[in-house]
């Protein structure tokens, strides 16, 4: 006879927090969101502590170097996607690790032969209005000049006007030599009233750009997640097939933590991968595993030495695994079950293995619920895909700006390793979709807004830290009628946009 789990499995939207007593000390400014990323022993500290409980999903449409830098600046960590050749993934890791705060490698570069039409397209797609021009259009090509929105008039200039005709040419652009310090670059920016300062090497090749606003914001980032050499921290996804080739490249590139990216983690393949890493690197290389949805799966991976365990099957916004294969579990129930198992494991062994809630976070308050249910941090795909810094194009769909977002199991990503059960190296059927998500501006603004809400709710529960929230939180399941009551109801909402913005 098969095993039947007691009761239904539930998801976040079916729960609410019941406020507890909050003292005068419970104000958002006093709340710490620090949380452990990897396993540690009782009485010790986790070797890696996040400053905010957010990590970005191991996905092509989410975690590239630009997003990784932006997230580390806010105190979280990205996992660079593994569905690319190992050398390309390692190059992305290296790009994050070698990033010099304030010096930005251009991600929207023009050639002199491009047209005004191309410029407008690029502004639309990337949201940047200042773009360098290089001979071959690469970010490190021969520097030819710079284009800003002050160089053309959309209403007057023909769309086929060449960039070379309206750019500020290199000889008239104020540039700084490679090796210039950020302080000197900033002085030049102020002296010459610039918005951007190109950094050029001795052969005249573009190296990077310093933006006025970047320097300012760098000074106001108290949460930056840095390694011991003051470089941004970054993670990387691996799979259970080519780890012997991929892991050494990622470690050599400087990845701070790895994570096995799989839709189903309760498997011999994960055990073998973890064993190989431990045999070759001891506990020097930190590696998370998953995904699982119950206590048994958690214990298996914890016993195999996983540094953290990821929870969630089928709850991702782009995921159709439950529809195609009929496997999974309501995310809230899965998380509660696994967190209980983590606490028992800690009691028994003295080893704390952090739990990551992966997928299915729709509203900001879902994050507070996930933390209250015991998650140490959340992995987010859709949430981060909406920001400027995600690697995908911004497109205009029926008058509204959108960003593209596709699943790793979609025909577009073809990440067959994520769904690998042995056998042929191919994606036999899709488990994800290709979609749009509403564009949401910069990551910093989005994360600031979200975390302010999380902190406010924690205060309502009388908690000034995540462990305190986990002890004090009081949760209640709600009926489907109560869920209707929770939104605007029995009124005609004036601005229809209010109902589609992120709550």
Residues taking part in catalysis? 319, 418
Q: At a CB cut-off of 8 Å and minimum separation 6, what does 477 contact? A: 10, 14, 15
Which stretch in 161-169, 180-188, 380-388, 449-457 sits in contact with ligand RVP by CB under 6 A?
380-388
User: Between 74 and 408, whose beta carbon lies closer to ligand RVP?
Assistant: 408
- Shortest Cβ distance from residue 10 to ligand RVP (Å)? 16
User: Between 70 and 123, whose beta carbon lies closer to ligand RVP?
Assistant: 70
User: Between 218 and 414, whose beta carbon lies closer to ligand RVP?
Assistant: 414
Question: HEC string of 4-35?
Answer: CCCCCCCCHHHEEECCCCCCCCCCHHHCCCCE
Number of residues that bind ligand RVP (CB under 6 A): 23
Q: Is residue 319 a contact residue for ligand RVP (CB under 6 A)?
A: yes
Question: HEC string of 294-331?
Answer: CHHHHHHHHHCCCCCEEECCCCCCCECHHHHHCCCCCH
Among positions 255-314, residues that touch ligand RVP (CB under 6 A) are 312
Residue 484: both structure tokens together: 């209707």
Residue 189: both structure tokens together: 């920016």
Q: What DSSP string runs through 384-443? A: HHTSTTSSSPEEEETTEEEEEEE-TTSTTT--GGGG--SSSSS--S--B-EEEEE----H
DSSP code, position 224:
-
Among positions 423-452, residues that touch ligand RVP (CB under 6 A) are 431-432
Distance of CA 124 to the CA centre of its chain: 23
Reading phi first (left if > 0) and then psi (alpha if -120 to 50, else beta), residue 490 is in left
One of 409, 417, 420, 458 touching ligand RVP (CB under 6 A): 409
Which stretch in 44-52, 231-239, 315-323, 493-501 sits in contact with ligand RVP by CB under 6 A?
315-323
One of 57, 250, 260, 469 touching ligand RVP (CB under 6 A): 57
CB 364 within 8 A of CB 423: no
- Shortest Cβ distance from residue 61 to ligand RVP (Å)? 9
- Shortest Cβ distance from residue 484 to ligand RVP (Å)? 23
User: Between 80 and 379, whose beta carbon lies closer to ligand RVP?
Assistant: 379
Q: Sort 428 into a burial class: Cβ within 10 Å, 0-12 / 13-18 / 19+.
A: exposed
CB 416 within 8 A of CB 427: yes
User: Between 12 and 99, whose beta carbon lies closer to ligand RVP?
Assistant: 12
DSSP code, position 359:
S
Q: Is residue 321 a contact residue for ligand RVP (CB under 6 A)?
A: yes
- Shortest Cβ distance from residue 313 to ligand RVP (Å)? 8
User: Between 180 and 410, whose beta carbon lies closer to ligand RVP?
Assistant: 410
Q: Is residue 407 a contact residue for ligand RVP (CB under 6 A)?
A: yes
One of 102, 235, 359, 446 touching ligand RVP (CB under 6 A): 359
Stretch (H or E) spanning 332: helix 331-349
- Shortest Cβ distance from residue 56 to ligand RVP (Å)? 8
DSSP code, position 171:
G
Distance of CA 97 to the CA centre of its chain: 16
User: Between 285 and 379, whose beta carbon lies closer to ligand RVP?
Assistant: 379
Q: Sort 164 into a burial class: Cβ within 10 Å, 0-12 / 13-18 / 19+.
A: middle
One of 238, 260, 301, 380 touching ligand RVP (CB under 6 A): 380
Which stretch in 92-100, 133-141, 245-253, 379-387 sits in contact with ligand RVP by CB under 6 A?
379-387
Which stretch in 117-125, 403-411, 448-456, 463-471 sits in contact with ligand RVP by CB under 6 A?
403-411
CB 417 within 8 A of CB 240: yes
Strand partners, 198: 209
Which stretch in 2-10, 243-251, 376-384, 467-475 sits in contact with ligand RVP by CB under 6 A?
376-384
Q: Is residue 381 a contact residue for ligand RVP (CB under 6 A)?
A: yes
Residue 139: both structure tokens together: 């970010």
- Shortest Cβ distance from residue 324 to ligand RVP (Å)? 9
User: Between 317 and 450, whose beta carbon lies closer to ligand RVP?
Assistant: 317
Q: How far apart are CA 355 and CA 312, in angstroms?
A: 11
CB 239 within 8 A of CB 276: no
Q: Is residue 408 a contact residue for ligand RVP (CB under 6 A)?
A: yes
User: Between 206 and 356, whose beta carbon lies closer to ligand RVP?
Assistant: 356
DSSP code, position 390:
S
- Shortest Cβ distance from residue 503 to ligand RVP (Å)? 15
One of 89, 307, 358, 389 touching ligand RVP (CB under 6 A): 358
Residue 492: both structure tokens together: 């005609």
Strand partners, 226: 232
Interacting residues with ligand RVP (CB under 6 A): 57, 59, 312, 316-319, 321, 358-361, 379-383, 407-410, 431-432
């Amino acid at each position: 006879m098969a095993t039947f789990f007691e009761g239904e499995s539930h998801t976040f939207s079916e729960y609410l927090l019941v406020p507890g007593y909050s003292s005068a000390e419970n104000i958002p400014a006093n709340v710490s969101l620090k949380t452990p990323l990897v396993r540690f022993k009782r009485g010790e500290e986790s070797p890696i502590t996040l400053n905010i409980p957010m990590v970005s999903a191991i996905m092509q449409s989410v975690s590239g170097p630009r997003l990784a830098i932006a997230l580390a600046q806010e105190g979280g960590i990205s996992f660079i996607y593994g569905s690319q050749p190992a050398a390309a993934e390692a190059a992305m890791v290296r790009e994050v690790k070698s990033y010099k705060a304030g010096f930005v490698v251009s991600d929207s570069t023009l050639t002199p032969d491009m047209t005004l039409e191309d410029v407008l397209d690029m502004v639309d797609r990337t949201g940047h209005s200042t773009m360098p021009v290089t001979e071959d259009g690469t970010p490190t090509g021969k520097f030819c000049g710079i284009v800003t929105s002050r160089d053309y008039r959309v209403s007057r200039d023909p769309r086929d006007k060449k960039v070379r005709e309206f750019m500020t040419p290199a000889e008239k652009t104020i540039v700084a030599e490679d090796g210039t310090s950020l302080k000197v670059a900033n002085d030049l920016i102020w002296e010459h009233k610039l918005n951007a300062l190109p950094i050029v090497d001795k052969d005249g090749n573009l190296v990077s750009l310093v933006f006025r606003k970047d320097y300012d914001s760098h000074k106001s980032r108290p949460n930056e997640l840095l390694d011991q050499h003051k470089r941004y921290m970054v993670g990387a996804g691996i799979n259970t097939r080519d780890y012997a080739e991929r892991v050494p490249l990622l470690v050599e590139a400087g990845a701070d933590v790895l994570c096995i990216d799989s839709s189903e983690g309760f498997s011999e393949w994960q055990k073998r991968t973890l064993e190989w890493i431990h045999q070759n690197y001891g506990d020097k290389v930190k590696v998370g595993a998953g995904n699982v949805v119950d206590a048994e799966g958690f214990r298996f991976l914890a016993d195999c030495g996983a540094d953290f365990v990821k929870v969630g099957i089928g709850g991702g916004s782009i995921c159709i695994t439950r529809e195609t294969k009929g496997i999974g579990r309501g995310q809230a129930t899965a998380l509660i079950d696994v967190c209980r198992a983590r606490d028992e494991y800690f009691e028994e062994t003295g080893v704390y293995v952090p739990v990551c809630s992966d997928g299915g976070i729709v509203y900001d308050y879902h994050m507070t619920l996930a933390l209250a249910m015991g998650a140490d941090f959340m992995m987010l795909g859709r949430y981060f895909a909406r920001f400027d810094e995600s690697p995908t194009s911004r497109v205009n769909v029926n008058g509204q700006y959108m960003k593209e977002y596709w699943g790793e199991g979609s025909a577009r990503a073809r990440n067959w390793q994520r769904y690998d059960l042995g056998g042929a190296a191919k994606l036999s059927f899709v488990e994800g979709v290709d979609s749009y998500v509403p564009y949401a501006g910069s990551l910093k603004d989005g994360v600031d807004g979200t975390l302010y809400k999380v902190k406010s709710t924690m205060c309502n529960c009388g908690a000034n830290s995540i462990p305190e929230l986990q002890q004090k939180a009081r949760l209640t399941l709600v009926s489907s009628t109560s869920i209707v009551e929770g939104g605007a109801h029995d009124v005609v909402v004036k601005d229809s946009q209010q109902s589609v913005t992120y709550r």
